[in-house]
Structure 1
Amino acid sequence: MQNHATAQYNLGWCYENGFGVEPDLDKALVWYHKSALQGQITAQYTLGWCYGNGRGMEVDMAKAVHWYTKAAEQGHTTAQLNLGWCHLNGKGTPVNREEALKWYLKAAEQGNATAMFNVGNCYAHGYGIEQDDKQAEEWYQKAVRHGNKKAASALRHLASKQEKEKQTDSEA
């Protein structure tokens, strides 16, 4: 099974899930790593997730960022989402809100509803971009249309904030 990245990933999945073999997370990680080194996108994401969540190893956010980046650069939307979160929160990498927004936008442009919600949050709070309630509202609405329930709550909060600002302006 030399240099067959997808087969190596699949074998890792079988070991992780006990499909046709006894479950063995250590063996799964070996096969995921072999596959990821050859550029297999799902193996790269999976290794990032394992490092980020301590699945079969100690949590190592720097390694999680490394593998998320490899998968994100190939267009893996969940890796892009997770990489954005790492940059926003300084997990495994210094805080870089502009970089966080960049990765959230890439995932959002591929239809990821959570990423759309996160882009809305970036606009609402000025994370990596100038604060802009109108853009926040547009991104929250996109997220709602794609099934993100948190975005509906964020829209209500934003509307309440805007109403309070109107009242304050009219009283001045």
Structure 2
Amino acid sequence: MELILRGSQTLLRTCSRNIVSNKYKQVRLNSYYSSPTIQNVQINTKYEISRSPDEWKYVERIIPPITVPNFAQKEEYHSEFKPPSGNAKDHPYFIPRTKNHMIPVYLHIQQRGMRRLTVVRKIQGDIWLLGKELETFLQPMSKKPIRMQINEFTGGIRINGDYVNAIKYWLQEKGF
């Protein structure tokens, strides 16, 4: 037996069964066999059915929408969001927005923060031309050569380093 002092409670632990005893309850630390089985399960939730449209509007506010609504066209946005422009179709490649109207460029952090990868997804069309243009755009920002992996099958490009904001800016300027 050993005595454990935890705050204002004094606990007693027996070594053979690994049981913590309190003066109010007994908890077994390493076995679920001693847990009581659930029997005679009853749902004791009290609810009321209402068919009033006035009350239903409060429920509709909580339910998430099935689809993401289209964004409102404005002259000026107060955030960094920019809608796609019409000249995105002039390029031999296309990068559609995500369902939340965002550009699909992500940062993956691996090896406990030591490795950072920028991932561009959902690329359609000439992915090799996009890779060359990204490399010429990013090369002045880096002291080392840009290392990238182009996956034609999945339509994605992985670039070593954190270039997320630069690529998003470049794609927005191109109209995507």
Q: TM-score, normalised by structure 1?
A: 0.23
* Structure holding more strand per residue: 2
Q: Which has the higher contact order (CA 8 A, sep 6+)?
A: 2
Larger radius of gyration: 2
Q: TM-score, normalised by structure 2?
A: 0.22
* Structure holding more helix per residue: 1
